[in-house]
Structure 1
């Protein structure tokens, strides 16, 4: 069982469905409302846990009902939450999502996620010493991600970075990352390039990037720089929310199999996740992924 340490965001998603988006200053009646556990960090932690990894999470929530609910949800999924701190000054992060005819408008308030600091990372050093691999995203401060990368390097643990939301990355951080997991746009922003030049960007970091490309699946280069392609798996999509986070959780959970095999499992897990509604709600188990791959072979 791979031990995965996730450093990242914990949000509550507040989802409103409506027939049209409101105009500026307008009040509309929505059709439905739901709350869903979210945040890239929490999503990826749940994905890895369902796929059989032993998962620990470092994050921060507020001293409120959402924070209590999010922590309880992670515990229920088998995630070790002892390193999740509680802020006395900031609320739990939220994403306010308005959905209309398949489109959405999202407003994220980081809340306690923005308080996750390098000092919190340093205080959690034991978690880095005990894990096999570290997985992070960019929904917490960049300085905190850099601190996590440095601590992973100190303990000789591979550091996987999902560079989302897209951001230009410092060269020092790039040097500490074992694997980047961007989409086409995120890769271009991270390396200060152009999306249409993604093959050249992949070649810049041989063996260190696996790029998701929607229905095409994933592309990566091996250690020699040769381009490799993992095709996607055809499914009937219901809800694509959380597919990328499922992919990342799977890459971490199956890291010990090598990048090619991990990418195959990740594409399969991502495909399965879109066949059910919800980000965490659609995430498959390891048994489901293995059965899916057996039938796809």
Structure 2
């Protein structure tokens, strides 16, 4: 694939500790030594798309510290265009504190740092003073929500005006307010996991109680009422379901040995975005996205776990159990 992907989102330095189990409130659990690694959903998805063969430009903010310099160097090594990644004087780079238990489940606490300052004015500065340049030459816009919702909305509006498709990975899920409602109305493809989907369905008044087992195709279709043409709900090891105006389809997960689930959703979103940008049929796009997400769980870390195009193609060619 050889696609122009614009990613607007967060850049974080991840500090990860592996533990036998996640601590309960007020409890201390001893783990292994802390490991430092590149992260942030925006940077993760940009790197994932680059490894999968896309031409990727990232818009974001770093602090003027050691972490920021290391993250920028990493982007360049991965072939991500960082010309619209700014450095904010006097501000710390975003930091994620990650605890991972033996089965790969994790708990993450974010200190946004420079990411919280990626507002609409920053977008103008980072694009040379002309907001219209934001999506020029772009095939698809990929957004997440570790930056202000207002920023994502401004970008999605620019993309809608330019007739550029917008993919929103609605994570982490913010409060369901007017800004989020408008963002969803300007979103073409919505990607979220089952927890985020349940939260959004409940907040939007589309369901009153926890969804029953097997209801995900119907609930994905219900989320289309909020604006997106395509809604994809990821189901962890169970794969993913997608709803369009023509109905729904699903793809099972691939059986893999899970080490760490950090980065799996980012790999899925990037793979789906690239496939859709290349006008790949949805069934094939979903298969490749599930393969990318599954592969990302087999290695520790966020960006260190992201698969290559060849790895995804090989797994996608196999048949899930």
TM over 0.5: yes
Q: CA deviation at 1:294?
A: 2.8
Matches of 2:111 and 2:218, distance apart in 1: 35
Kept in 1: contact 2:216–2:241 (CA 8 A):
no
2:263 matches 1:242: yes
- State the Cα distance separating 1:253 from its structure 2 match: 1.4
Residue of structure 2 aligned with 1:115, choices 92, 114, 117: 117
Distance in 2 (CA, whole Å) between partners of 1:262 and 1:95 is 30
- The total of aligned residue pairs comes to 295
User: What SS does the aligned partner of 1:131 have?
Assistant: coil
Aligned to 2:196: 186
Secondary structure at the residue paired with 2:304?
Answer: coil
Indicate if the aligned counterparts of 2:134 and 2:155 stay in contact, CA closer than 8 A: no
Do the aligned partners of residues 201 and 93 (structure 1) sit closer, same or farther apart at CA in structure 2, a change above 3 Å counting? same
Provide the residue aligned with 1:176 in structure 2: 186
- For 1:43 and 1:119, the matched residues in 2 are separated by 24
2:285 matches 1:275? no
Q: Which of 218, 231, 236 matches 1:209? A: 231
CA contact (8 A) 2:292 2:312 kept: yes
- Mapped contact 1:202–1:221 kept (Cα < 8 A): yes
Gaps of 5+ in 2: none
CA distance in 2, matches of 1:107, 1:199: 31
CA distance in 2, matches of 1:186, 1:246: 17
Residues 199, 14 of structure 1: CA spacing in aligned structure 2 closer, same or farther, 3 A cutoff? same
Deviations 1:64-103 (A, max 9, x none): 1100101110111110000001111320000122445556
Q: Which residue of 2 aligns with 1:264?
A: 287
> Does structure 1 conserve the Cα–Cα contact (< 8 Å) formed by 2:16 and 2:98?
yes
* Pairwise CA distance, 1:234: 1.2
Distance change (3 Å), C-alpha of 1:172 and 1:35 = same
CA contact 2:64–2:87 (8 Å) conserved in 1: yes
Per-residue deviation at 1:17? 4.0
- Is 1:221 aligned with 2:239? no
Q: Answer yes or no: is the 8 Å Cα contact 2:6–2:141 preserved in 1.
A: yes
Tell me the alpha carbon deviations over residues 92-142 of structure 1, each in whole angstroms, 9 at most, x when there is no partner: 000122445556443210000000011222342424111100001010011
| Greater alpha carbon shift after TM alignment, 46-55 vs 253-262 | 253-262
1:96 lines up with 2:118 in the alignment: no
* Matches of 1:272 and 1:104, distance apart in 2: 17
User: Residue 156 of structure 1: which of 153, 163, 166 is its match?
Assistant: 163
Find the partner of 1:132 among 128, 133, 139: 139
Asked if the contact 1:94/1:108 (under 8 Å) is kept, the reply is yes
Unaligned residue ranges in structure 1 (runs of 5+): none
Deviations 1:214-269 (CA, angstroms, capped at 9, x unpaired) = 12111012322x12111111112222211111001111111121332211110011
**1 CA distance for matches of 2:259 and 2:27?**
33
Comparing 286-295 with 119-128, greater Cα deviation is found at 119-128
Given the two structures, how large is their TM-score scaled by the length of structure 2?
0.85
Contact 1:4–1:135 (8 Å) recurs in 2: yes
Q: Which stretch of structure 1 is more off in the superposition, 81-90 or 271-280?
A: 271-280
